[in-house]
Amino acid sequence: MTDNNDHIERIEKAQSLSAHRFKYYDFMMAAFVAILICSNLIGAAKLVQFFEFHIGSWNVGLFGAGILFFPLSYVLGDVLTEVYGYARARRVVWAGFAAVLFMAFMAWAVVKMPPAPGWEGQAAYEQVFGLTPRIVLASVFAFWAGELSNAFVMARMKVWSGGKHLWQRTIGSTVVGQGVDSLLFYPIAFLGVWSTGQVATVLVTNYLLKVLWEALLTPLTYRAVAFLKRAEGVDVYDKETNFTPFSVRS
């Protein structure tokens, strides 16, 4: 009888949550997608170096330009999972996935359009926006796998910890999610284009910087989570969640 009552209570909570009117969820989704598109379109393929410091053959100062902004999507992913639960975070990831695909298609289509006579910007336009299918494939696949891994670890750790030690969940999920993202993106996108040493260097450097960046943003994550939980009146625990990645149901 007790088990049946618990089951009924879980169903009622799920129904109540599905009917809940969120104030900020759509804004969080919009911010996530905007950061994702900008970091992929503007910063993914550019190598930058603010300083030069070598550890053996490893130039620690060499990294991808998108490193300064792309990790913000993981911060938002952590906040979404912590406040709204895995299913709604997964929905946002799929929205980002679709947005990046459209961005890549639009960039390809615009570059391929014949320039007007006398317009001299075609070469520069191709240089900036001429995304290769390989980079697009690497970016989309790595993002999808990394973000969903991040959300899964975040959600499971919240249940295991009983909602305690948020910093452990944000950093732990980032270690996994950014690791999956980096291990997929850089080899798929740049092996054979950059030297193997450059790929390995940028992969390791970017991964470490992403995790460090996430750790430094922990106080901001705490404040965002606290504000949204108060404003939305929810704090979701994914005890009965279907963790399949192949769904957009919330």
Question: Would you state the pLDDT for residue 124?
Answer: 86
Question: pLDDT tens digits for 85-94?
Answer: 999 999 999 9
Give the least confident one: 51-55, 56-60, 91-95: 56-60
CB atoms under 10 Å from CB of 116, counted, come to 7
Tell me what the pLDDT averaged over the chain comes to.
85
Work out the average pLDDT over 42-65.
68
Specify the pLDDT at position 50. 72
pLDDT value at position 45? 60
Domain annotation for the chain: domains and CATH numbers:
2-232 (1.10.1760)
Confidence (pLDDT) at 132: 72
Confidence class for position 12, pLDDT limits 50, 70, 90: very low
Which pLDDT band, with edges at 50, 70 and 90, does 9 fall under? very low
The answer on pLDDT for 218 being more than 90 is yes
